[in-house]
Amino acid sequence: MVLQEKAVRPAAPAPRRAFLRGTVQVVGELLITAGIILLLFVAWQLWWTNVESDARQSQVIKEFAQDLAAPATTEPAPVASAPPAGAEDFGKPVVGTAPGHAGTIGIMYIPRFGPGYTRPIVQGTSQDVLDTLGLGHYSNTAMPGAVGNFAVAGHRQTHGAVLDNIHTLVPGDKIYVQTKDGFYVYVFRNNQIVLPSRTDVLEPVPTQPGVTPTESYLTMTSCNPRFGAEERIIAYALLDSWRPASAGPPAEIAAQVAAATGRS
Amino acid sequence: MYAWIFRHLPGPLWLRIVFALVLVAVALVLMVQFLFPWMSHFTQFTDSTIGSADKP
């Protein structure tokens, strides 16, 4: 090996100049390497994290669907029978108990974001949840259907970009939350762009600290602008209706629910 | 530096090319697994929460 090295290397001039030339060459190569690594990092952040998170989130939905399927086998009869027409009022929504950190609460369907939009809602807003598992539920806020504020956070870009299109919501758009108890239908009301320090958007009545809530809110937070985090974009929605799991999914999202959970 | 590494890889030319590709692949895996997640802490645009991001 040593012989080979000598054979390939050009005849060295003075030893000092050779040392200088070698040093400059190594530094140059290291700088080029650093540049390539930075470019790779951009590709990783903007593209590869989405690939990874999408795969992980489909897995979370699959696992959640399996948990759903298990209890349903014990009582198949009420599921199969179609609910009578007009019987759309199922009373007060059932509020589930909050799972532990990183436990799956349910699935969110937002038809405005595309027919295939299904993302898991997972307990917690720490980086391990938001980066891989999907929408993170602020664990100090209400559960879906409860009177108060059900608040979730999601990435605008990178790591699945779960709320990339949050700015395209139009007042009146339906946002569906499926838990093991049933389906909660929220209706989008408005957007707001705030500074990251505005924790009052998570209050039981958003932006009104100290007020006792009488309605069920859904609040979604994401970064704003799309490739920055100087601000937060907030989407507020109000609970419109709910259906117990035994009544089946709302007709508008029946196909998505069937595709996501493998059953209608 | 890279020329020096390439010269010190054993075997005939084709084997050295294979070795070099393997080394590049290993470097890529290490970057994706460890370096990039660490670097992402220094980029701002992934923070989507209100208040402290590390709040559980």
Per-residue pLDDT in tens (0 to 9) along chain A, 264 residues:
445 555 556 555 678 888 999 899 999 999 999 999 999 999 999 999 999 999 999 999 999 998 887 654 444 444 444 444 455 678 888 899 999 999 999 999 999 999 889 999 999 998 888 888 999 999 999 999 999 999 999 999 888 899 999 999 999 999 999 999 999 999 999 999 999 889 999 999 999 999 999 999 999 999 988 888 889 999 999 999 999 988 888 988 998 888 888 764
- Please report how the helices A49-72 and A254-261 are oriented relative to each other, as an axis angle in degrees rounded to 10: 100
Q: Find the closest chain B residue to A228 by CA distance.
A: B45
- Contact between chains at B45 and A125 (C-beta distance less than 8 A): no
Nearest to B50 by CA among A164, A205, A141, A211: A141
Contacts of B47 in chain A (CB under 8 A): 196, 223, 229
- Contact between chains at B48 and A153 (C-beta distance less than 8 A): yes
Contacts of A221 in chain B (CB under 8 A): 48-50
* B12 has a pLDDT exceeding 50: yes
Q: What is the pLDDT of residue A117?
A: 92
Q: What is the pLDDT of residue A11?
A: 58
Contacts of B49 in chain A (CB under 8 A): 125, 130, 136, 138, 153, 196, 221, 232
Q: How far is A75 from chain B (nearest CA, A)?
A: 36
Write the CB contacts of A167 (distance below 8 Å, at least 6 apart in sequence): A191, A233
Q: How far is CA A83 from CA A28, A214, A249, A251, in A?
A: 72, 29, 11, 12
Query: Which amino acids of A are annotated catalytic?
Result: 155, 223, 232
Cα-Cα end-to-end distance for chain A: 68
- Contact between chains at B56 and A125 (C-beta distance less than 8 A): yes
Partners of A123 in beta bridges: A137
| Tens-place pLDDT, residues A179-198 | 999 999 999 999 999 998 89
CATH class of A50-68+96-261: mainly beta
